[in-house]
Structure 1
Amino acid sequence: MNELSNEPQGAEEGDRQFVTALARGLDILTSFGKTDRYLSNQEIAQRTGLARPTVSRLTYTLMKTGFLIRSDDSGEYRLGPKVLQLGFSALAATDISERFNDQMSELCRGPNPYITVALAERSGTRAVYLAVRRSRQAVTLSIDVGARLPLFYSGIGRAILAGLSEEKQQAVLQKAIAEFPGQRERMERSLNQAVEDYERYGYCTSFGAWKPEINSIAAPLRSLDGSSVYGVNIGGPSFMISPEELHEQYGDRLRSAVSGLGAT
């Protein structure tokens, strides 16, 4: 979702193959956040930057096709079951999730009972969680499958960036700058740190860079055919797990897990 422009993500001037109406409809679907049950057309318009009449036509169409459900009482919309169907189809097509399942359990058996292990893939300028495994303690990170994290500030996002070619890194950076021009210098520094961390440790770090209360380390993981780059993350509340513990107790575990998956 691009909150600064009414141009949909992926739009390029003069691209005759690009269907703007479809892209705007998808922007509406992704404007729903984790805590949003219902959104009005006005709220969707504010989040997407689209004109209210355009939003009204698109939400009506999405409702008629089953991707949105309209409340009879308020006239607001919530995501429909077809969106969930797409999500499960995407996960089913991702072979890495099944292969990573055993590794997630093993990483959660480490010395700290408050960690969360996750797998994510890039979507635009964000990292989307495909799988999450938590320790059994009550104080863990409450981030679930489908959560969207900032690519340049979260550990898992930085790992994905580090796994891309330099050309692709710069392309993603320019896309992010167009979306958030006020954060250009911060994102450039973050990308440099991701690359430096990966060269130094074999994984990336994010110690309070995304949220002050979260520490994490993460490594890139390529699909077997080399076409996709995922991020594997180990993290937890900063008051329960320190940067030093992540380096000393989980760095080798993370590198081994990613190395093992890459060889299977």
Structure 2
Amino acid sequence: MDAHDRIPQGKYVVPALAQGLAILSLFSRRRATITPPEIAQELNLPRSTVFRLLHTLQMMGFVQKEGDERHFKLGPAVLSHGFEYLASLDIVEAAQPILQRLRDETGLSAHMAVRDGREIVYVARYPARTTISSTVNIGTRFPVHATVMGRMMICDFSDEQLLDLFPTDPLPRFSEQTPTTLADLKAVLAGDRERGYAVSQSFFERGVSSVAAPVRDGMGYIVAVINITAVDAYIDLAAMHGDLKDAVLKASAQITQWIRRETPRDAGDAANKTPSSETSKVSEPLHA
């Protein structure tokens, strides 16, 4: 992602606000600290501008200096607002007992994620009750195209929407299975859409197996994804496409049913959502 992608342009865009938010977007799980020169180079901003922006963000608690005084890291304000946002999501609260039951029934870690641009963000986590369990935390981000949860989030996207999301090839590669062109990604998504779920064995990370399924709102649009994962443990493909898949689909259908009860089918603004095909909508739970 280049500077143009991170800092939007437009008649009504406030440059300083956009630049400050772009600085925050540079931080990630793999990149906990950043120096002002790095920010200036990556965002193509004058160092004096970066200094003023960092000073403002520091005063508001969104960033803070490391011990060496040269590196900056995210401050407590980001964490506070992030968890307040996650806590405000009714869907997360509704999904909690269902995900916990899914974890207990399968013995595997259970998660929920939503999409933010070209990334998924984990919003709920129930680790397996074993010494080896999923190490992702709430707030962890992964690329959409390279993960089964991400693929489930966009499996209903039209060609135009996919091109808007991924305007250029190649797509970043994370494993031998990662689709690196839009054509390859479309082929994978077609299979996901037909099945209504996705299965992964080391698709994103070696040694991690996963089964994922979508959660839909009252209009039939995918609003979240749940999965179960096993770390450093071999799981037979027949089981992943059998009992484990059934358990994940049952849980996703239960969450979907709760959302549909809370959201009338004619409610809400669907302008920014993607309609699903009739064949890919989540049906009633597979097991009562």
Q: Shorter-chain TM-score category?
A: 0.7 to 0.9
Structure 2: distance between partners of 1:86 and 1:205:
33
Q: Distance in 2 between matches of 1:24 and 1:142?
A: 32
Range with bigger deviation, 100-109 or 78-87? 78-87
Q: Work out the percentage of aligned pairs sharing the same amino acid.
A: 27
Q: 1:245 aligns with which of 234, 239, 252?
A: 239
The aligned counterpart of 1:11 is: 8
Q: Verify: 1:109 aligned to 2:97, yes or no.
A: no
Q: Does 1:146 align with 2:130?
A: no
CA 7–135 in structure 1, closer or farther in 2 if over 3 Å, else same: same
Cα distance in 2 for residues equivalent to 1:222 and 1:9: 29
3-state DSSP class of the match of 1:139? Answer: coil
- Equivalent of 1:70 in 65, 69, 73: 65
Does residue 182 (structure 1) correspond to residue 170 (structure 2)? The answer is yes
> Which amino acid in the other structure matches residue 73 of structure 2?
R
Q: Report the CA distance between 1:33 and its aligned residue.
A: 2.2
Whether 2:86 is the aligned partner of 1:123: answer no
RMSD of equivalent CA atoms: 2.5
Which of 202, 208, 213 pairs up with 2:207?
Answer: 213
Contact 1:163 1:229 in 2 (8 A): no
Local SS of the residue matching 1:130: strand
Question: Partners of 1:139 and 1:50 in 2: how far apart?
Answer: 43
CA–CA distance in 2 between the matches of 1:131 and 1:163?
A: 23
Give me the whole-angstrom Cα distance separating, in 2, the residues matched to 1:82 and 1:224: 34
Q: Equivalent of 2:126, from 133, 136, 144?
A: 133
Aligned residues between the structures: 250
Tell me which structure has the larger Cα radius of gyration.
2
Q: TM-score w.r.t. structure 1 length?
A: 0.83
Match of 1:96 among 68, 73, 91: 91
Task: Quote the Cα distance in structure 2 between the aligned partners of 1:165 and 1:209.
Answer: 23
Note the alpha carbon deviations across 1:215-242, whole angstroms, 9 max, x for none.
2121121244667621111222253334
User: Residue deviations 1:159-189, cap 9 Å, x none?
Assistant: 1011445543342233xx3xxx432872421
Out of 17, 20, 26, the position equivalent to 2:21 is 26
Q: Secondary structure of the equivalent of 1:236? A: strand
Counterparts of 2:59 and 2:219, CA distance in 1: 38
Preserved contact between residue 214 and residue 236 of structure 1 (Cα < 8 Å): yes
Structure 2 spans left out of the alignment, 5+ residues: 173-178, 259-288
The 3 A distance-change label for structure 1 pair 259 and 72 is closer
Report the counterpart of residue 259 of structure 1 in structure 2: 253
Higher mean alpha-carbon deviation, 224-233 vs 134-143, is at 224-233
2:266 aligned residue: none
What CA distance in whole angstroms lies between the structure 1 residues aligned with 2:125 and 2:137? 6
2:199–2:210 CA contact under 8 A, matched in 1: yes
One-letter amino acid of the structure 2 residue matched with residue 25 of structure 1 = G
The superposition leaves residues 129-150 of structure 1 with CA deviations (integer Å, 9 ceiling, x where unpaired) of: 1111111111122111111111
